[in-house]
Amino acid sequence: MPVTLSYDLRTNDPNHRSYIRSMLERFAWRRLGGSVFRYSGRTINGVIEEDWLNDVIPSLMFFRSYTIQQSIEIRFLLSMRMVFPDLTAATRQLFLGARPTRARSYAVP
């Protein structure tokens, strides 16, 4: 499942932003624009596989350690995991439940 990371830093040195951007790209994050990145996994033997323990967690820990070490103020940090269920006719009932009943079918006390 893709993970999107968005952040804003307050720093006077533009090299800090470049260094963080380069580090995230080395951990297989794809830059969507500005300071927004998405991790969708790596292609290994023709199959996209997610490696949270070797890509996602170390990159977030590096981000944290680097900003602390360089005294960079993080204005905001947003991490979102997107889940899009595959709704087919067979699985629709599992995710959405039963259809609502009409209001007039209930007896009013």
Q: 74 has which bridge partners?
A: 9
Q: How far is CA 5 from CA 17, 27, 44, in A?
A: 14, 13, 23
Mean pLDDT of 34-63: 86
Is residue 88 predicted with pLDDT exceeding 70? no
Is residue 12 predicted with pLDDT exceeding 80? yes
- End-to-end Cα separation, the chain, in angstroms: 48
Q: What's the pLDDT at 103?
A: 61
Q: What's the pLDDT at 99?
A: 62
Half-sphere exposure of 46 (CA within 13 A, CB side): 0
Domains and CATH numbers, the chain: 3-93 (3.30.70.240)
Is the pTM higher than 0.95? The answer reads no
Q: 49 has which bridge partners?
A: 42
Q: What's the pLDDT at 40?
A: 85
Q: What's the pLDDT at 86?
A: 52
